[in-house]
Amino acid sequence: MEVHHHPDLHHKKKHFTEYFLEFLMIFLAVTLGFLAENLSEHITNHAKEKEYIRGFIRNVQDDTATLNHVIYFDSVQVSGIDIFLRLRHADMSLDSNRKNFYFLSLNTFYNSASFTSNNATLQQLKSTGDYRLIKKDHVSDSLSKYDTDIQGISSQTNYYRDYFKEILSRLDELTDMSMYTDTSYMKNGKFTNKTTPELNTDNKQLRTLFNKVFDFRIITSSYAGNYLKPELENATRLIFFLKKEYGMEDE
């Protein structure tokens, strides 16, 4: 006959210290896990912040290259406009004056240069909400200020482009553009002895054109001198500041 012994269902009562130690171990495990997760997130966010700044610096470096090109081009264009304006009171019935008119028009008004910012990183920061990753307030403020400055220049760029288009439109009305591709008139960038086409205009239309060109000279000079040059200086300082702030001087 088998005898079954029932297990003792009465547990020994735990002391307070045992409960406290169990609680402490659980609390420490949760806390350490939380701290480890926060540390990992902090490291990841800091790495993303630096990558954003690195990308922003590259964008601003692109901007400085564009600014330098546009400033130089516009200064050359202003010089060309000054020469063109000397024809203001010239007798356009003379072939020599028309040749100068056509030549200076071609070299001064059929190319333009205006500034468009490479704002890819700024757009990404705004669209993803990652602006919060820029922890340094003075850096975040600098990025916001640059964005505002660029938007201000954008309105001036549109004004420059619109006026440039108006000059071209008026020239299209007054001149025979096909002459530039007709080898009987021009060869290797130089005029032949063939008489150039008459301008399709009267004195009033011609006066209006020169007035518009004079206005365009002011716009172009102001665009380069009052907007682009100061922004080039700001962009150069900003690159230096950010590289120093994030220890990227050697990059």
Q: Predicted confidence band at 28 (pLDDT cuts at 50, 70, 90)?
A: low
Higher pLDDT, 13 or 210: 210
Concatenated DSSP letters of the chain: ---PPPP---PPPPPHHHHHHHHHHHHHHHHHHHHHHHHHHHHHHHHHHHHHHHHHHHHHHHHHHHHHHHHHHHHHHHHHHHHHHTTTT--TTSHHHHHHHHHHHHHHHS---------HHHHHHHHHTGGGG---HHHHHHHHHHHHHHHHHHHHHHHHHHHHHHHHHHHHHHS-GGGGG-TTTEETTEE-SSPPPPPS--HHHHHHHHHHHHHHHHHHHHIIIIIIHHHHHHHHHHHHHHHHHTT-TT-
Mean pLDDT of the chain: 87
Q: Predicted confidence band at 1 (pLDDT cuts at 50, 70, 90)?
A: very low
- Please count the structural domains in the chain: 1
Residue 176: pLDDT over 80 = yes
Q: Is residue 12 part of a domain?
A: no
Over residues 38-47, the mean pLDDT reads: 59
Higher pLDDT, 37 or 70: 70
**Which pLDDT belongs to residue 35?**
53
Q: Is residue 2 part of a domain?
A: no
Q: State percent of the chain over pLDDT 70.
A: 83
pLDDT tens-digit readout, 136-156: 889 999 999 999 999 999 999
Residue 105: pLDDT over 90 = yes
Tell me which residue range forms the domain holding 188: 17-245
**Which pLDDT belongs to residue 108?**
95
Q: Is residue 251 part of a domain?
A: no
Q: Is residue 5 part of a domain?
A: no
Q: Is residue 60 part of a domain?
A: yes
pLDDT tens-digit readout, 109-129: 999 999 999 999 999 998 888
Residue 40: pLDDT over 50 = no
**Among 5-9, 28-32, 44-48, the range of highest mean pLDDT:** 44-48
**Which pLDDT belongs to residue 188?**
86
Over residues 223-229, the mean pLDDT reads: 97
